[in-house]
C-alpha cells in the first residue's frame, strides 16, 4: 500500500511506487499534495519502478507550474539506483539523518 502523509510542509511517502500504484493514484494527483508541501521524504519507499519515478517528477512539475518548489529527499538505495540509471540526480537530494 502506498501512503502520502503530510505534516508541517513535508510529506512522507511510504510503500511501493510501482506501476500498479501509480495507475491507482493517477486520478487523485490533484489532491495528493493538498496542503503546503515543500519536501517529499522518500525514505519510506520500499520499492519503485520507472513509473514511480515518473510520478515523482510529475509532482515536481505540477508544483513548479503553481509557482512552488518540491524537493525529493532521502531516496532509499533501490530508488537511488534508478536515479543514477536515468541521470536524475538534480531532482533528488539526500539529507543527513
* C-alpha neighbours within 13 Å on the C-beta side of residue 49: 7
User: Which of 3.30.70.890, 3.40.50.620, 3.30.530.20, 3.30.750.24 would CATH assign to domain 3-93?
Assistant: 3.30.750.24
Cα distance between residue 38 and residue 11, in whole Å: 8
Distance of CA 79 to the CA centre of its chain: 10
- Taking only the tens place, the pLDDT of each residue in 45-80 is 999 999 999 999 999 999 999 899 999 999 999 999
Q: How confident is the model at residue 95 (pLDDT cuts 50, 70, 90)?
A: low
Q: What is the pLDDT of residues 21-37, one digit of tens each?
A: 999 999 988 888 777 88
- What pLDDT does 52 receive? 95
State the pTM of this model: 0.89
Taking only Cα atoms into account, the Rg of the chain, rounded to an integer number of angstroms, comes to 12
Amino acid at each position: 500500500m502506498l501512503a502520502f502523509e503530510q505534516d508541517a510542509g513535508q510529506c512522507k511517502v511510504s510503500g511501493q511506487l510501482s506501476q500498479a500504484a501509480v495507475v491507482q493514484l493517477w486520478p487523485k494527483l490533484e489532491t495528493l499534495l493538498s496542503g503546503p508541501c515543500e519536501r517529499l521524504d522518500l525514505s519510506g519507499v520500499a520499492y519503485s519502478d520507472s513509473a514511480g519515478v515518473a510520478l515523482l517528477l510529475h509532482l515536481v512539475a505540477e508544483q513548479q507550474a503553481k509557482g512552488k518548489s518540491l524537493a525529493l529527499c532521502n531516496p532509499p538505495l533501490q530508488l537511488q539506483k534508478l536515479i543514477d540509471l536515468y541521470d536524475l540526480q538534480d531532482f533528488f537530494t539526500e539529507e543527513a539523518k
